C-alpha cells in the first residue's frame, strides 16, 4: 500500500470550509465598537457616554488582546479561544441589559471594558494559523508567493467585515431594536468562534520542553523594528475612526446621517479590491517603500476630505484614501509577520489587531467630541493628522530598516 501524499497546497491543508468560517467569525468583532455605541446612545441618551463606552471597549481589547494571543502561543489557540468565546458572549449579554438598567455609568463602563478585554481576536488568530501552515507545510519555493496572497486576502477580509459590520448593526438596530446587534454578536460568538476554535487548523498547545525550545523571550516583542509597525497600524485605526465619525457628522449636517455608511463603503470596497492585488507586486517593490507610497495616497485622500465642502469632494477623498489604505494594511501585517519573534506569531498578530481597534475607538470618541463641541470642519481635518502619524511611523521604519538589512523585504 502506498502512503497518502501529504497536502502541498494551503487549501488541501485547511479545507475549503475554513475560509468562510474564519470570515463569519470576524463579524462579532467588527460589530462590537459600533454596536456598543448604538446601544449606549439609545439606552442612556448620551452621545458622549456612547463615545466613551466605545473607547473603553477599544482600550480593553488593546490591553488584554495581546495576552490572549500570548496564551494561544503558549497553550494553543483552542483553549484560549473557547474561554474567550464564553466570557465575551456573557459580557455582551450583560452589557445589553445593564445599559437599560438603573446601574451607574461606571458599572456599565466596567462591563464595556470586559467586552473589549474578552474579545476573541479571530482575525489575528486566523493570520497566525495560516502563516504557520505556510511556514511549516508548504514547499519552500512556494512560500513567499502564497504568504503574500494570504496576507492580502486576510486584509481584504478584514476590510469587507469592517465595512459591513456597522451596516449589519444599523439594520438590526433599526428593525429589531438597539439591543439586538449586541445580542446577535453574542450568539455569533458562541456559534462561530467556538467552531473556529475547534477547527482542525487550530494551533496546538506546546509542551514545556517545546516552549523552551521554540518560544522567544517576551522581551523581543519590544524591539523598535516591531513596535514601529504596531504604531503604524494604530495610525490606520486612527484613520478609520476619525474618517467614519467626521463623515457621519458631515452627513448629519446635510440631514442625511444614514448615508455615511454608504459613502464610507467607497473607501472600504476600493481598499479591499486593491489589497488583493498586492500579491501581484514585484518583490523589488519592498515593504519599506510600499509603506511610504501607499501612505502618501492615504495622506492625499484625507487632505481632500479635510478641505471638502461637497459630497463629491468627500467621495473623491475617500476613493483616493481607499487606494492606499488596503495595500498599506497588507504591508504592515507583512512586516509584522516578518519581524515576529519565534513562537510569538499569535501575540504579534493580536498586538497589531488591537492597535487598529484601539486607534479606531479612541479616535471615534475624540472626533465625535470635536464635531459636537468645536465644529464639523475641524472634525474633517482630524483624518489628515491621523494619516500624517502613519506616515511619520513609516519614515521611522525607513530609518530603522535600511536597504540590505534583511528587514526591508
Q: Is residue 219 part of a domain?
A: yes
Task: Provide the pLDDT confidence category of residue 1 given band limits of 50, 70 and 90.
Answer: very low
Whether residue 116 lies inside any domain: the answer is yes
More confident residue, 72 or 6: 72
Residue 295 in grid coordinates? 501612505
Say if residue 316 is exposed, middle or buried (CB neighbours under 10 Å; 0-12, 13-18, 19+): middle
Q: Is residue 198 part of a domain?
A: yes
What per-residue confidence (pLDDT) applies to 116? Answer: 92
Residue closest to 192 by CA, chosen among 12, 11, 29, 14? 29
391 or 401, which is more confident?
391
Higher pLDDT, 15 or 259: 15
Return the number of other C-beta atoms located less than 10 Å from residue 405's C-beta.
Answer: 11
Name the range with the highest mean pLDDT among 27-41, 62-76, 112-126, 381-395.
381-395
Closest CA to 161 of 399, 7, 357, 316: 357
Q: Which of 120-124, 161-165, 235-239 has the highest mean predicted lDDT (pLDDT)?
A: 235-239
For 197-253, how does the pLDDT look when each residue is reduced to its tens digit (9 = 90+)?
A: 998 887 665 555 555 555 566 566 668 888 999 999 999 999 988 888 888 788 878
Per the structure block, which three cell numbers stand in for 304?
481632500
Q: Which three cell numbers stand for residue 109?
A: 463602563
State the pLDDT confidence band at 369, using cuts at 50, 70 and 90: confident
Q: Which residue, 244, 198, 227, is CA-closest to 30? A: 244
pLDDT of residue 367: 86
pLDDT, the chain, mean: 83
**In angstroms, rounded to a whole number, what is the distance separating the alpha carbons of residues 116 and 358?**
10
Side-chain-side CA neighbours of residue 108 (13 Å): 25
Domain membership flag for residue 9: no
Any idea what the CATH number is for the domain that residue 267 is in? 1.20.1250.20
Greatest mean pLDDT range, 119-133, 245-259, 307-321 = 307-321
Reported as a single tens digit per residue, the pLDDT across 277-288 is 776 777 788 888
pLDDT, residue 5, reads: 54
pLDDT, position 211: 53
The Cα 364–Cα 144 span in angstroms is 36
Total domains, the chain: 1
Give the domain range for residue 293.
18-400
Query: What whole-number distance in Å separates Cα of residue 90 and Cα of residue 111?
Result: 10
Those residues whose C-beta lies under 8 Å from the C-beta of residue 199, and which sit 6 or more positions away, are 18, 21
pLDDT, tens digit (0-9, with 9 covering 90-100), for 338-356: 887 776 777 788 888 888 8
Q: 100-111 burial string, b = 16+ CB within 10 Å, else e?
A: eeeeeeeebbbb
Domain annotation covers residue 11? no
21 CB contacts (<8 Å, ≥6 apart)? 192, 195, 196, 199
Q: Which of 236, 228, 225 is nearest to 327 (CA)?
A: 236
Amino acid at each position: 500500500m502506498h502512503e497518502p501524499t501529504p497536502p502541498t497546497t494551503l487549501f488541501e491543508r485547511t479545507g475549503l470550509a475554513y475560509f468562510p468560517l474564519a470570515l463569519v467569525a470576524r463579524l462579532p468583532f467588527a460589530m462590537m465598537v459600533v454596536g456598543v455605541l448604538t446601544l449606549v446612545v439609545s439606552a442612556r441618551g448620551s452621545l458622549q457616554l456612547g463615545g466613551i463606552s466605545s473607547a473603553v471597549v477599544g482600550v480593553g481589547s488593546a490591553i488584554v488582546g495581546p495576552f490572549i494571543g500570548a496564551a494561544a502561543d503558549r497553550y494553543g489557540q483552542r483553549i484560549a479561544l473557547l474561554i474567550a468565546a464564553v466570557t465575551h458572549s456573557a459580557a455582551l449579554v450583560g452589557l445589553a441589559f445593564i445599559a437599560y438598567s438603573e446601574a451607574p455609568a461606571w458599572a456599565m463602563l466596567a462591563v464595556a471594558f470586559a467586552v473589549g478585554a474578552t474579545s476573541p481576536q479571530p482575525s489575528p488568530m486566523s493570520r497566525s494559523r495560516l502563516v504557520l501552515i505556510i511556514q511549516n507545510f508548504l514547499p519552500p519555493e512556494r512560500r513567499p508567493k502564497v504568504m503574500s496572497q494570504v496576507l492580502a486576502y486576510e486584509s481584504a477580509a478584514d476590510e469587507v467585515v469592517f465595512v459591513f459590520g456597522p451596516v449589519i448593526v444599523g439594520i438590526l438596530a433599526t428593525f429589531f431594536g438597539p439591543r439586538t446587534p449586541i445580542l446577535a454578536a453574542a450568539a455569533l460568538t458562541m456559534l462561530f468562534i467556538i467552531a473556529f476554535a475547534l477547527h482542525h487548523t487550530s494551533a496546538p498547545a506546546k509542551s514545556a520542553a517545546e516552549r523552551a525550545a521554540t518560544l522567544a523571550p517576551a522581551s523581543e516583542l519590544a524591539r523598535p523594528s516591531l513596535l514601529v509597525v504596531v504604531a503604524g497600524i494604530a495610525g490606520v485605526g486612527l484613520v478609520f475612526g476619525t474618517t467614519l465619525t467626521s463623515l457621519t457628522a458631515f452627513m448629519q449636517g446635510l440631514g442625511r446621517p444614514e448615508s455615511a455608511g454608504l459613502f464610507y463603503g467607497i473607501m472600504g470596497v476600493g481598499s479591499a479590491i486593491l489589497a488583493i492585488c498586492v500579491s501581484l507586486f514585484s518583490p523589488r517593490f519592498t515593504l519599506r517603500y510600499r509603506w511610504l507610497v501607499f501612505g502618501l495616497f492615504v495622506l492625499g485622500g484625507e487632505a481632500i476630505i479635510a478641505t471638502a465642502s461637497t459630497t463629491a469632494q468627500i467621495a473623491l477623498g475617500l476613493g483616493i484614501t481607499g487606494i492606499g489604505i488596503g495595500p498599506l494594511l497588507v504591508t504592515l501585517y507583512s512586516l509584522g509577520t516578518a519581524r515576529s519573534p519565534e513562537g510569538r506569531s499569535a501575540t504579534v498578530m493580536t498586538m497589531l489587531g488591537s492597535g487598529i481597534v484601539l486607534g479606531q475607538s479612541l479616535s471615534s470618541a475624540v472626533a465625535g467630541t470635536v464635531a459636537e463641541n468645536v465644529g464639523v470642519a475641524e472634525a474633517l481635518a482630524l483624518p489628515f493628522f491621523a494619516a500624517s502619524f502613519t506616515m511619520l511611523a513609516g519614515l521611522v521604519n525607513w530609518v530603522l530598516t535600511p536597504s540590505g538589512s534583511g528587514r526591508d523585504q
